[in-house]
Amino acid sequence: MDTLTRLRTLFPALQTLEESAQRTLIEQGSLARRPAGTVLMRQGEVCPHVPLVLSGALRVYKLSPGGREMTLYRAGAGDTCLVSVACRLTGDDFPAIAQVEEAAELFFIPYAVYSRVLDSHIPWKDFLIATLYKRFSESLQVLESVTFDRVDRRLAAWLLNRSEAQGKATLSVTHEQIAAELGTAREVISRMLGEMRHQGWLELGRRRVRILDPEALRELSE
Amino acid sequence: MDTLTRLRTLFPALQTLEESAQRTLIEQGSLARRPAGTVLMRQGEVCPHVPLVLSGALRVYKLSPGGREMTLYRAGAGDTCLVSVACRLTGDDFPAIAQVEEAAELFFIPYAVYSRVLDSHIPWKDFLIATLYKRFSESLQVLESVTFDRVDRRLAAWLLNRSEAQGKATLSVTHEQIAAELGTAREVISRMLGEMRHQGWLELGRRRVRILDPEALRELSE
DNA sequence: GTGTATTATGTGACTAAGTTACCGAATCAA
DNA sequence: TTGATTCGGTAACTTAGTCACATAATACAC
């Protein structure tokens, strides 16, 4: 499938653009592949283009001065990377890091082209508004669980979610990674996993967490 | 000053609307006063109009099942209440509470009128995007300080901010209110204020916190 | 004004979470 | 195979949040 078709499928807002504008996007934009681990945006950097995600996954997270991480949300096919778009809009530094989590294909629209072609396009603006709103809600949920929920509940919920998403009872993940997801310290996760193993709910190995008793986890997480 | 002039001044995006559309807004919308304490939106409610804030102040906060509060941001003259706008866009329940903090004048645009008049207006969409982005950033800052900062630093910073904003060294506020701002428990605030008084940085009274040593607070908050 | 209700604050004891500082075991790379 | 690196375990300690109160200040009713 050619790039234009893929873009139109993943970003329906683009379908309502005039043919000539669509051609401009394709001609002036560029498709790029980025391997897992690539950092797309660091705090305070300015991005010279608007990136659309065609495949793969990005993770957007905050980094504390002390080195602790906290995942805010992920972006996948059909998403645009807010981090880059938004800091353009206001001139602020976007205070988070966007990193490729699974090898991704990105379509970069140079900012000049973006201004000319998309900036006066209502369906695109609606797409942006919906995206922003979604991120906002997601971050609020994170905020809510961080301030009001206990870590053990959040951990149980995270394990269940992850296990369901992957359709497996055995997760391949380090304690460090879990801590980054939940915005806490590795030691805390190790202790709690240890406790859950002690209860017979989990089996642990290096880079491996196996869920033995999902019901117990569900009950804890309510 | 008449309402249309005030609207145009506070919401410059409206100035680029056609005259007839502006007239429709004024004729079909309605101006309302709401005293401090009025709850505009509760979790899960749907708002039949888009509210623009002409004066006064709203506070948007989250409420935990356990009754703890956490202020997310405030909206004042020239802002629109995202809570109501956004849940319209996506159909989701907006997961926060909007309450009038200082008696406010609000201009309500019925949703039908909004769709007809503003939904295809680019400057208005840009205004919405900017607003959403601002809220998003603000909430991220809250999230960052909650997860990565110690409460005593956040408290010191809050006291200094508030004192500067009001141009006074004596704040009229309860420990309970401070706890709601910072998303922590009243006892924690009481203890820390007590500690700061012990250090000679503050003088405390009922509903009263007086800053004696702003430099010490600044140093703590870095 | 006086008593009573309400609101605000103080505090101790306890639990949960985050930090510091290690250790050793598993894995990788040369 | 050996040295380095990553990963997990754990103890001791600090910070934060919860629970259960006591006490103090103010409001208000009469």
Ramachandran assignment for A21, one of left (phi > 0), alpha (psi -120 to 50 degrees), beta (any other) = alpha
Contact A148 B72 (CB under 8 A): no
pTM: 0.92
Helices (H) and strands (E) counted in chain A, each on its own, are 9, 8
Verify if strand C has an atom below 7 Å from the CB of A195.
Answer: no
Grade residue A62 by pLDDT with cuts at 50, 70 and 90. Answer: very high
Question: Which residues from chain A sit within 8 angstroms of residue B129, using beta carbons?
Answer: 89, 125, 128-129, 132
Kindly write down the DSSP assignment for every residue of A41-107, as one continuous string.
Answer: E-TT---SEEEEEEEEEEEEEEE-TTS-EEEEEEEETT-B-HHHHHHHHH-PPP-SEEEEEEEEEEE
**pLDDT higher than 90, residue B195:** yes
Q: What is the pLDDT of residue A90?
A: 72
Cβ A142 vs Cβ B72: under 8 Å: no
Question: Which residues from chain A sit within 8 angstroms of residue B89, using beta carbons?
Answer: 129-130, 133
Residues comprising chain B, all counted: 222
Radius of gyration of chain B (CA): 20
| Enclosing H/E stretch for B179 | helix B175-182
Q: In sequence order, what are the residues at sequence separation of 6 or more whose Cβ sits closer than 8 angstroms to the Cβ of residue B35?
A: B100, B103
Grade residue A119 by pLDDT with cuts at 50, 70 and 90. Answer: very high
Cβ-nearest to B132 among A64, A96, A132: A132
Grade residue B219 by pLDDT with cuts at 50, 70 and 90. Answer: very high
**pLDDT higher than 90, residue B66:** no
**pLDDT higher than 80, residue B49:** yes
> B118 to chain A, minimum CA–CA distance in Å?
11
Cβ A80 vs Cβ A131: under 8 Å: yes
- Which residue of B122, B148, B149, B151 is the best one to mutate when testing the A interface, meaning the one whose CB has the most A CBs within 10 A? B148
Verify if strand C has an atom below 7 Å from the CB of A204.
Answer: no
**pLDDT higher than 90, residue A9:** yes
Instruction: Tell me the residue type at A198.
Output: H
Alpha-carbon distance values, B206 to A134, B193, B210 (Å): 42, 12, 11
**pLDDT higher than 90, residue B67:** no
